[in-house]
A and B are shown apart, each in its own frame.
Chain A
Amino acid sequence: TQLLEQSPQFLSIQEGENLTVYCNSSSVFSSLQWYRQEPGEGPVLLVTVVTGGEVKKLKRLTFQFGDARKDSSLHITAAQPGDTGLYLCAGGGFNKFYFGSGTKLNVKP
């Protein structure tokens, strides 16, 4: 089983602060996805990274895939209350995905 460890598990910050969430594994993944999940709903894809060292930006969110394709990070600039939610990373091949345990982010106004 390929394990994905996310840190921190919980993060509570003030509006306007920056933050970084990490996703680490001892295994190499062909691709890695970041999702956001709201309570009582299914995960919604934010981004997919495929190439080692790849950096993708989605407005105030910056995603990076490690050179060795074993780890990834999500950086949020100037966090807003609307960013509050559960952030999940998931990696795997086409037929099977492993999810991290998630980072629960709370952005206080």
Chain B
Amino acid sequence: EPEVTQTPSHQVTQMGQEVILRCVPISNHLYFYWYRQILGQKVEFLVSFYNNEISEKSEIFDDQFSVERPDGSNFTLKIRSTKLEDSAMYFCASRGGTSAYNEQFFGPGTRLTVL
């Protein structure tokens, strides 16, 4: 069964460092999303992406964040200068179509720890 994969599973970094979180969406999907979940809190939408452009972003997704689809398979989230409060689980999701019934498939997440 096709699945969304994410690497690394756990990333530890120092405050101020740049991190890149990687996702491989399901191969025939065209709509991609990043979410984060701070420990014990709700899943929060960060950004959606289609046709090499950001479709929508939340107020969390400030200038420190960027997304890219560098090739035909990867979808990345970059945080330029990490802050302590960026520590969270980051989930990538992909979706195959525009119908409300098209399921969002989530990856297993990357746990980011900023020290």
Contacts of B91 on A, CB cut-off 8 Å?
42-43
Chain B neighbourhood of A92, CB < 8 A: 45
Q: Is A40 an interface residue (CB 8 A)?
A: yes
For residue A88, CB closer than 8 A to chain B, the reply is yes
Give the distance to chain A from B39, nearest Cβ to Cβ, in Å.
11
Are A94's CB and B100's CB within 8 A? Answer: yes
9-residue interface stretch from B62-70, B73-81, B103-111:
B103-111
How extensive is the interface on chain A, given as a class?
20 to 34
Give the residues in chain B near A28, CB-CB below 8 Å: none
A28-83 contacts to B (CB < 8 Å)? 30-31, 33, 37, 40-45, 48, 50
Find residues 21-74 in chain B having any chain A CB closer than 8 Å to their own CB.
31, 33, 35, 41-45, 48, 50, 55-56, 58-59
Q: For the complex, give the distance between the alpha carbons of A50 and B101 in Å.
A: 8
Residue of B nearest to A1 (CB): B59
Question: Interface size of B by Cβ–Cβ distance < 8 Å?
Answer: 27
CB neighbors of A among B1-38 (8 A): 4, 31, 33, 35
* A30-B100, A42-B107, A48-B103 known; A99-B44 Cβ under 8 A: yes
Cβ-closest chain B residue relative to A30: B100
Provide the residues of chain A in CB contact with B31, threshold 8 Å. Answer: 94
Query: Is A88 within 8 A of B56, CB to CB?
Result: no
Which residues of chain B are within 8 angstroms of A48 by Cβ–Cβ distance? 100-101, 103
Give the residues in chain B near A105, CB-CB below 8 Å: none
User: Given the known A-B contacts A42-B91, A95-B48, are A88 and B43 also in contact in the complex, defined by CB atoms under 8 Å?
Assistant: yes
Besides A31-B100, A96-B48, A97-B35, 13 more A-B contacts (Cβ < 8 Å) are A37-B43, A41-B108, A42-B107, A42-B108, A42-B109, A48-B101, A92-B45, A94-B31, A94-B100, A95-B50, A96-B58, A97-B45, A99-B45
| Contact surface of A with B, Cβ cutoff 8 Å | 1, 30-31, 33, 37, 40-45, 48, 50, 88, 90, 92, 94-102
